[in-house]
A and B are shown apart, each in its own frame.
Chain A
Amino acid sequence: MSDIYDIAVLGAGPAGTNAALSAARTGKTVLLIDEQPAAGGQVWRAKSKSIFSAPETPESRAGDTLRTRLVAATTQGTIDHLGDTRLWQVEREGNLWALHLLSDGKVAKRTARALVLASGAREFVQPVPGWTTPGVLGLAGATALLKSEQTPPGMTTVVSGTGPLAFYVASEIRRLGGTVVAVVTPNRRRDWLRALPAMLCRPKLLLRGAWWMADLLLGRVPVLWGHTVTSVTGQHAVSAVEVQAVDHVWAPQGAAQYFRADSLCLGHGLIPAIEAAQLAGAKIYHEPALGGWVPVAKTDGSTDVTGLYLCGDGAGIRGADAAEIQGTLAGLKAASDLGVEGLAEEMRALTRAHAALSRFGQAMTALSIPRSGMVQWSTAQTITCRCENLTRATIEAEISAGATSTNALKSGLRAGMGPCGGKFCQTAIAQMIARKTAVALADIPPPTPRPPLRPVPVSAMAEGFDYHDLPIPKPAPL
């Protein structure tokens, strides 16, 4: 293909892959970039290549379908798929997008006229005492292990968290031969009843949920509604998990009970991965119903930035089904803005379909909207920033000393300066600032976005450097 792609797509999950496919279908040249070797994203993650065969699941089937369609397009040469590749910087170069990539220990640059970001989501885990003990996994993190390695996280597992993911993970662990000691969720049955009308529009998915519940019931797995994990015991590995009931704002109350387990899956909802969109110039706003801080984008993916399109969970958590449709739509919108005609009718139909599907996804997201009592799940000595080993007490002392923004805390304590770049701690830190200063979460934006989006080895940046090419400036004035 030519040096300049018409459309570059970041992320090969349901949104990004479909964006690439629909854009390629219009005749545009398309580059699809993804961190994983195979397409599918987190939700339809492919099994590891070392596993020859495994029983099918609805997720593996959806992923295989997507991968088959993508392979067809790459074979025809309408899409260039760069797997195992990370985007670390995105810049404007005139009317083009410059995408700086890291692959195989080397940096490379690709350019495109339009950029579709389908960067997906990451997981929020509310810190609890002992949550950094080996054997504790994120709930979404566990799905990666289950899908890719077909392996349960331990012999005996407590699964705890908000929304449908806890039930999915519990069911999958059992399917793969693990033992689920208990499912613990702060959601109550009535939270789910409230979501029911929106779920009725997706009977297939509703049925799946019912299947998970039936499986847990038949397996006599205790399901603790309105409960949360409040502590993890174990020096070098998980040995037991402490659980308490929660009130309506999810503050723990009543007596604690304990479950012996060697592992814990813990997660409290998904957060849009917005950093790439921010570097590309997208504005953000706070919308708890979409997962927190969300970039400003229309349903068709278009933004205030010319040539920038956002779709999928990275543009607001609406789930895989909505992401597929929005991805297709964003790919067409990008192509249409590049001059392809005759797409309007299909785009209108996709917009309608998206509205119905996102209703389901948003009802699921609503189950994970953080509540004020969650702050009490941690103690003063609980690690909040894992990279820098900062306890809640340290962070709160800094807030009391006047550091009342995420940027100020990052500067003073390095919370967010470690390898994760703040991806794990910022939601919890914003909650602490909000609580201590009585400021709304919507007024506590994340720290200034900066590259690299993922750590880049210095050796990769230095590749091909010739000292003689160094542009020697005029010496500084004496």
Chain B
Amino acid sequence: MKDQYDIAVIGGGIMGCGAALRMAQGGMRPVVLDLGDLGQGASGVNAGTLSLQIKRVKLIPYALRGHEMWEEMGDAVGFRKTGGFTVAFNSREAELLHERQTLKAAAGAPIEFVSVETLRKAEPNLSQKVQAASFCAEDGYANASLTGQYYRAKLRAAGIPYRERCAVTAITQGAQGFTLETVDGPVHATRVLLAAGGWLQPVAQMLGVDLPVQARVNTVSVTDRMPPIMSHVIGHATGLLTMKQKTNGTVLVGGGWQGRGTPQTGRGNVTAESLLPNLALAQFAVPALGDARVLRSWTGFEANVPDFYPLAGALPGVPDAFVLGCVRGGYTIGPYISQLMGDFILGREPEMPLFDPGRDFEKALT
């Protein structure tokens, strides 16, 4: 007997798993397919920063709900609400910081500007060159590498079938719904949800839809264990640095420095050209970091669309097909927006508006 699911979810990251869990709660029978392991894409390899200071103004309400959900997930995802500082090293950056964080605070993020003295008391190892800083008590981090473990357990507990290392190679739509060709044989489902992150473009292409999704190739590095040298999430006004010390003493350094490669040809490659200034900037901000050794650097693909807003809604032109992807802040917002998406597919009114994947990307969203 052939298996017929209510919905096939392509992509087992936060988006796909979160939506599948919501839909199963609502009585649907989903299956989750991933070309690798669960949570090994951007959901599992990003730097884990949960910072309202680097979220887009319009997404602050979503991010606030996201923060609440990460806090509820707690230890299982390595959540820590440390508070976060964003620092500026010159007047130009200070100006940028002031302008941007003021708008985010107005949108509801509890961001305040703090004196350099306050900052030094809180983070004595930060460089003396800091000229201005903002602080958000809601900021913190979670351990992105636990994403796969977390959602695997959740899917199992909910009785949701998932298939790992099960790449979808073709999708056809007939009277009975969709047939997904996979390396493990065909999967049949009434609906499909494309939640393939950086891989969204080629996956949507299988249904003849050209989504304007490109993949950014973000670099993250981790050091060996260090004595405590910082206790908050640290960011840089330009966005070129995020940094946090985990409870095990390792320091995770990110900042969106670009590696090489495409989702079609592997998992991306680190380049020394990006890596060296990334780490140099980290040491510039916290000189004591110079004593640490970098143990591993990696890249993850972050989906990107021209207007830098999420994709969440019906796939244009293909009935019963949906797409969910988040650019800029997908890790933070993921658990929440995937619930909204699940509600939408269940035919319920989502608590907050979704982001129509069929919109005109050249126009700014109103």
Contact = CB atoms under 8 A, between A and B. Distances in A.
A475 B224 contact: no
A168 to B, nearest CB: 33
Interface residues of A, number: 44
Nearest to A405: B37
A405 B164 contact: yes
Nearest to A418: B295
Contacts of B307: 477
Contacts of A450: 270, 296-298
Interface string A383-425: 0000000000000001001111101101110100111010000
Contacts of B164: 404-405, 408
Interface string A445-474: 000101110011111011001010111110
B44 interface: yes
B291 A458 contact: yes
Contact of A462 (B57, B149, B156, B279): B279
A70 B267 CA distance: 39
B295 A448 contact: no
Interface in B286-302: 289-298
A462 B40 contact: no
A462 B269 CA distance: 20
Nearest to A417: B296
A458 B56 contact: no
Contacts of B153: 401-402
Given A100-B272, A407-B37, A462-B283, A401 B149 contact: yes
Given A458-B291, A476-B239, A412 B148 contact: yes
B269 A408 contact: no
Nearest to B248: A414
Contact of A421 (B100, B267, B277, B296): B296
A473 B153 CA distance: 39
Q: Assign chain B's interface to a size class.
A: 35 or more
A109 interface: yes
What is the predominant secondary structure among interface residues of chain A facing chain B? loop
A386 to B, nearest CB: 14
Contacts of B290: 457-459, 462
A322 interface: no
Contacts of A457: 290-294
Interface in A86-139: 89, 91, 98, 100, 107, 109
B146 A473 contact: no
A107 B276 CA distance: 10
Interface string A429-458: 000000000000000000010111001111
Given A476-B328, A477-B308, A467 B284 contact: yes
A193 interface: no
B277 to A, nearest CB: 6
A414 B44 CA distance: 13
A51 interface: no
Given A412-B146, A412-B148, A419-B224, A458 B283 contact: yes
Interface string A4-43: 0000000000000000000000000000000000000000
B265 to A, nearest CB: 10
19 contacts: A402-B153, A405-B164, A405-B165, A407-B36, A408-B37, A408-B164, A417-B296, A418-B224, A418-B295, A450-B296, A451-B270, A452-B296, A458-B279, A458-B283, A462-B284, A465-B284, A467-B284, A476-B308, A477-B308
Interface of B: 36-40, 44, 54, 56-57, 89, 96, 100, 103, 145-149, 152-153, 156, 164-165, 222-224, 238-240, 267, 269-272, 275-277, 279-284, 289-298, 307-308, 328
